[in-house]
Chain A
């Protein structure tokens, strides 16, 4: 009695009914989607006919134990009703696993399944491994003996046939399952994926097509979504926002820094961005609306509205509290090193940084720790001007004000750098 069997071997099996009459061939196995680690078979899909194929899904309970090369049913042919169309089940091996791409959560990459390795326990088949090796392909092609003969002829005592490239189902995440490509959104799936480092996840995403990317992305937790999204290329981000439904896209945009959200809203179609803004909380949409009004390459377009500000009479203690409150990056994506002091009309009075007040007396006035130069840029200033200022004063971020000196937002060096690099790259490419 074998413990393991390859799905490709089962596919050739002939099926006979209880009276020994030939019924057809195994076409597929339908599986149970459970919270268990190894899904179990719930039915055998039998196919008959050559030009006009018919199918029937036989429940596993009426299938006798497996014999070499054939299986027998406990019921008669007359009890089964064949249909013309392929049977729709939630999860089946031929359609959803074999020849499809899956994520190897242990090896951190996307692989294509060449064969499926099934475990037999008390007449029930469990999905144990997926085969991603060349031997799987050779087996599917039916050339195992030929290849073995050739290889052993040239290299006797080879251990080539003892090596298998199997990945445990425990370490596998299927990307789409079911007729409508709906996904396996279980806790198990999340746990499997959570083991992959974020940088690797972004690499994995790169290898998938947009729809698989979408399915995988939806399985992530909100926090994971935010981090993985930050690591994607602009093109990928645009594609993803485009494919997510409006509600999901808008909540994602609310969770990322507002300057990045603005850039994305700029690049997608006007209809879509209006829809997304409508779905956001009024506060975030107001903020983004304002940012969208600025030219992309000016201070207004580059700035983010996530910054820390305090009234001009605040104490050092207030500043420390403010920083502690906002230390969680998932809630406040902005920079917490700089604090801006403003008067009652929100006009910028001064800038201070953590290093200058962290050792000061908590009860002393914050304004006394301000930088000597009150440098800021205007919303319409260009990127070149901002870059010069940042270089001159060695700032990590620089405040942006309007014509009345009212604080509008801040620009961080990395945003400026990103923009400059892409400008430089464009120039370089034009020269080519």
Chain B
């Protein structure tokens, strides 16, 4: 009897689709989940709380752009078997690579600071002092890689990301004005004021970040995907490209429905947690803190790792978590320095964290267009890509995406500089 039901479930279409969905889950989904880090949650919350539904329309184009950009990385990985830093070094020389890597280092360093700030803030909600939480988290993250068991922990992080479902439920429970949401999504009205535009490009900037391109490409290479298996990887990338903005959409939505409508401006983490109130009631701040902590520590483990990999790859230094400290000194030093600096600045009283965040946004903005242009050029090089070279149709879409992202990020840099 029970077996019958089980078999029925197994043969049902939904189950098969669901199974397929989880089966192809890989680097694409992981990258997308890391993307919803401390900075991401903060940006989406602010977007919803301060601008209501007026920004939800942007999620759809961001999704498309994200998928296109990420698919390019995955395709390059399969076609060349090399990481992005490798490809840039081999085709554009050491000069370009070096300066790109310098910028990447500082941008990602400020991202790491943001992650540790996220750890500090989230645990302070549980009344854990940052003098305790930050050094311990930093040490755990560091030892995780040096001892080389990151891969087994990754799944735990990934599972913990199910927390984002809370935002989806909360989004529904808050009973948003669906007519308004749909209306805003299909016929967007853009407010031509500076604050609105900064927020818009901020959304693009945190969702399509430079480090993601390096991280995804290396992960696909490491997985050893063959040409025949590529269609699964493509699905994985599309899956990830939908999940991340979907979560973003519901964070914006629940913040809009709860905070914007009651006119609350987010000033602290406790305010942002209110968005989860429809679901969790008085426990909203706990749920929020838990989610923020997971997102922050997940990204805090991935960012230094991915940055050190990219830099060593580009500069031709030995890499690998399976090596010892003195076998790959550059790799481990970079990794250690990022964690130590990233964590310790959070403990400096009156450290201008907001200024650093501004800097990281500007850095992202400067770096992303450059990397996108290199990517678009590499993917059109038949010598490198072989049969995986961009088709004409893909090329038109790619360049439109690239230029839109470039214009937006340049606008962001302009606004951040003139405002900050």
Contact status B89-A239, CB under 8 Å? no
Query: Quick check: A210 and B224 within 8 Å, CB to CB?
Result: yes
Closest chain B CB from A86 CB (angstroms) = 10
Known: A99-B90, A100-B90. A112 touches B95 (CB 8 A): no
A137 near B98 with CB under 8 A, answer yes
Q: Does residue A51 face the partner (Cβ distance < 8 Å to B)?
A: no
Residues of A participating in the B interface, judged by any CB pair closer than 8 Å: 98-101, 111-114, 132, 137, 140-141, 179-180, 209-212, 235-236, 238-239, 242-243, 269, 429, 432
Instruction: Given the known inter-chain contacts A132-B316, A210-B224, please indicate yes or no for A179 contacting B82, CB distance below 8 A.
Output: no
Q: B101 → chain A, closest Cβ, in Å?
A: 11
* B152: A residues at CB distance < 8 A: 429, 432
Complex CA distance for A152 and B81, rounded to whole angstroms = 42
Question: In the bound complex, what is the Cα–Cα distance between A141 and B383 (angstroms)?
Answer: 27
Residue in A113, A114, A242, A432 whose beta carbon sits within 8 Å of that of B226 in the complex: A242
Distance between B325 CB and nearest chain A CB, rounded to angstroms: 18
In the assembled complex, how far is the CB of residue B98 from the closest CB belonging to chain A, in whole angstroms?
A: 6
Identify which of A99, A113, A238, A239 gathers the most chain B CB atoms within 10 Å of its CB: A99
**Which of chain B's residues has its CB closest to A137's CB?**
B94
Q: Which residues of A contact B95 (CB under 8 A)?
A: 140-141
Q: Which residues of B contact A429 (CB under 8 A)?
A: 152
Residue of B nearest to A243 (CB): B226
5 further A-B contacts with Cβ under 8 Å, apart from A209-B221, A211-B80, A242-B226, are A98-B93, A112-B89, A140-B93, A210-B224, A212-B81
Residues of B within 8 A of A100 (CB): 90
B315 at the interface (CB under 8 A from A): yes
When each residue 125-154 of chain B gets 1 if its CB lies under 8 Å from chain A and 0 otherwise, what string results?
000000000000000000000000000100
Number of B residues near A (Cβ < 8 Å) is 19
Per-residue CB proximity of B243-281 to A under 8 Å, as 1/0? 000000000000000000000000000000000000000
The chain A residue sitting closest to B223, CB to CB, is A235
Q: Is the CB of B94 within 8 A of A111?
A: no
Residues of B within 8 A of A212 (CB): 81
Is B228's beta carbon under 8 Å from chain A? yes
Of all A-B residue pairs in the complex, the 8 with the closest CB atoms, nearest first, are A112-B316, A209-B81, A210-B81, A140-B94, A209-B82, A242-B226, A235-B224, A99-B90
Known contacts A141-B98, A211-B81; is-contact A179 B383 (Cβ 8 Å): yes
The 8 A CB mask of B77-118 against A (1 = contact, 0 = none) is 000111000100110011100100000000000000000000
Please give me the residue from chain A that is nearest to B320 by CB atom. A207
A429 to B152, CA, bound (A): 8
Q: A239 to B224: give the CA distance in the assembly, Å.
A: 7
Q: CA separation between A210 and B223, bound complex, in Å?
A: 12
Give A140 to B96 CA distance when docked, in angstroms: 11
In the bound assembly, the distance between CA atoms of A99 and B86 in angstroms comes to: 9
Measured in the bound complex, the distance between the Cα atoms of B94 and A132 in whole Å is 12
Complex Cα distance, B316 from A111, in Å, reads: 7
CA distance A236 to B226 in the complex (A): 11
The interface residues of chain A lying within 8 Å CB-to-CB of B81 are 209-212
Q: A298 to chain B: closest CB distance in Å? A: 25
Cα of A210 to Cα of B383 in the assembled complex, Å: 16
CA distance A242 to B89 in the complex (A): 27
User: Which of A101, A112, A132, A243 has the largest count of B CB atoms less than 10 A from its CB?
Assistant: A112
B124 to chain A, nearest CB (A): 31
Least CB separation from A429: chain B residue: B152
* Complex-state Cα separation, A99 to B81, whole angstroms: 17
**Could you tell me if A114 and B94 are in contact, using CB atoms closer than 8 angstroms?**
yes
**Residue in chain A with minimal CB distance to B315:** A137
Chain A residues with CB below 8 A from B80, complex form: 209, 211
Residues of B within 8 A of A141 (CB): 94-95, 98
Q: Can you give 30 A-B contacts (C-beta < 8 A)?
A: A98-B93, A99-B89, A99-B94, A100-B90, A101-B316, A111-B316, A112-B89, A112-B315, A113-B316, A114-B316, A132-B316, A137-B98, A137-B315, A140-B93, A140-B95, A141-B94, A179-B383, A180-B383, A209-B80, A209-B81, A209-B86, A209-B221, A211-B80, A236-B224, A238-B226, A242-B226, A242-B227, A243-B226, A269-B228, A432-B152
